[in-house]
Structure 1
Amino acid sequence: MSLRVAVADDAVLFREGLARLLADAGFAVTATVGTAGELLAHVGAERPDVAVVDIRMPPSHTTEGLEAARTLRSRYPEIGVLVLSAHVETAYALQMVESGATGAGYLLKERVTDVDELTAAVRRVAAGGLVVDPSVVAALVGRLRVQNPLDALSERERDVLTVMAEGRSNQAIGDRLYLSPKTVEAYVRAVFTKLGLHQAADDNRRVLAVLAFLRG
């Protein structure tokens, strides 16, 4: 059965184009709406698997979409929420993946042009996973303070951490960095050891631990 997705964005051409991409990729688009209120009403009535929402929505075009995403995650934790943004806004991204979060994501709108990345993100949040845009992760890693424990990481360990924090599996990290599975496992263990974080089988907790550390 196809995953059911609702799309909310006040720009008609963008939301209809996004809906078309999703439909062509095999998703069932349940609605395309232009306001946060319409999205909340639709999700309450139809219960799609995922809601894709722009971070800035009418009337003020500030954080209405983000607030709607929070409301959806609170009311319907079983529904995945993918927030789209035109710019890298690390504070909002971190709020979306706060401790204990599941089925949530933050993606730049420019990623929508990569259909494989978009569809993978939708499926990941639908399955209860986390999605963090690579640009956000890069901004967080680059915002290091003096005497930050991250300074203890080697350049390669930092590369692995960056990809890991996007929610990627060890296999995906290896594919991205051209490393063997055993080498990736060694780097991952080293990263967690140096950061004092406990490695867990659950990928969500792994990403949350990394992001929580970067947030601090």
Structure 2
Amino acid sequence: MSATRIVIADDSVLVRAGVEALLSIEPGHEIVGIAGSLPELIEVVDQVSPDLVITDVRMPPTRVDEGIEAANRFRTSHPDVGVLVLSQFADPAYLRRLVDGGSGRRGYLLKDNLATPGELVTAIDLIHRGGSFIDPAVVELLVNQQSNKVSSSLTRLTERETEILAGIASGKSNVAIGEQLFIGHRAVEKHINSIFAKLDLFDDPDANRRVRAVLMYLQGAA
């Protein structure tokens, strides 16, 4: 299996070196380009056509939201390129903008979770396969910011299904959700399958359907 070809974009030389060092520990990843600003990132991606971009959320020239802008731009110019946004900011607004055009091949990971390669590699692999990754800390913030607004799709869910979907959004496993609600994990699985059906989530791996269901829940209730 060929290595995942990656471009790293961050105006901090230390961060770029740190990400490179982490990925060098794990086989199957090849760094094919480096950028320190949005214009440089666009140029490098045009030149090397990577599988995936790992980008800081704030870079020159404005240091506002260049990573999000790049992700949205590449959705049109390079639709097969995955984008993992790294940020020190657990800001739900960034995540919402990142997935506005769809959650496929997109991810958001806090830099605090770069101490070990585990989360980074998990995110890269999910995104490279066409899935999504959301840092659990950002999901928790989104859940805490809920209002009473719900989407029409979510109104199809029963009270129990909504409780289970909230548990998924909080990053809980099926077993943990079952323990919280005092039901067995098989009952949780049955409810989750019902949630997928009611939200019209078909023909996708379960991990990706869970992410899409969470995004629908958070966007509909935020």
Q: Compute the TM-score of the two structures, normalised by the length of structure 1.
A: 0.82
Report the equivalent of 1:10. 11
Alignment partner of 1:58: what SS?
Answer: coil
**Contact 2:168–2:214 under 8 Å retained in 1:** no
Report the equivalent of 2:55. 53
Of the three residues 67, 70, 76, the one matched with 1:68 is 70
**Contact 2:72–2:101 under 8 Å retained in 1:** no
Q: CA deviation at 1:182?
A: 2.6
AA in 2 matched with 1:21: L
Paired residues, what number? 206
Report the equivalent of 2:167. 159
Report the equivalent of 1:35. 37
Q: Tell me the alpha carbon deviations over residues 76-100 of structure 1, each in whole angstroms, 9 at most, x when there is no partner.
A: 1111110111111111102212253
Of the three residues 171, 180, 186, the one matched with 1:182 is 186
Aligned equivalents of 1:71, 1:157: Cα separation in 2: 31
**Contact 1:157–1:187 under 8 Å retained in 2:** no
After TM superposition, the structure 1 stretch with the greater mean CA deviation from structure 2, 82-91 or 183-192, is 183-192
- Cα pair distance change 1:19/1:66, threshold 3 Å: same
Backbone CA RMSD of aligned residues: 2.7
Q: Tell me the alpha carbon deviations over residues 1-38 of structure 1, each in whole angstroms, 9 at most, x when there is no partner.
A: 21111100011101111111112212111122211111
Report the equivalent of 1:215. 219
- Cα pair distance change 1:208/1:98, threshold 3 Å: farther
- Cα pair distance change 1:99/1:23, threshold 3 Å: same
Report the equivalent of 2:142. 140
Report the equivalent of 1:121. 123
Aligned sequence identity (%): 34
- Cα pair distance change 1:44/1:185, threshold 3 Å: same
AA in 1 matched with 2:25: D
Alignment partner of 2:31: what SS?
Answer: strand
Structure 2, unpaired ranges of 5+ = none
- Cα pair distance change 1:3/1:35, threshold 3 Å: same
- Cα pair distance change 1:213/1:177, threshold 3 Å: closer
Alignment partner of 1:57: what SS?
Answer: coil
Alignment partner of 1:188: what SS?
Answer: helix
- Cα pair distance change 1:176/1:97, threshold 3 Å: farther
List aligned pairs for 1:191-202, cutoff 5 A: 191=195, 196-202=198-204
Aligned equivalents of 1:107, 1:100: Cα separation in 2: 17
Q: Compute the TM-score of the two structures, normalised by the length of structure 2.
A: 0.80
**Contact 1:99–1:212 under 8 Å retained in 2:** no
Matched, 1:110 2:118: no
Aligned equivalents of 2:127, 2:113: Cα separation in 1: 16
Q: CA deviation at 1:206?
A: 4.8
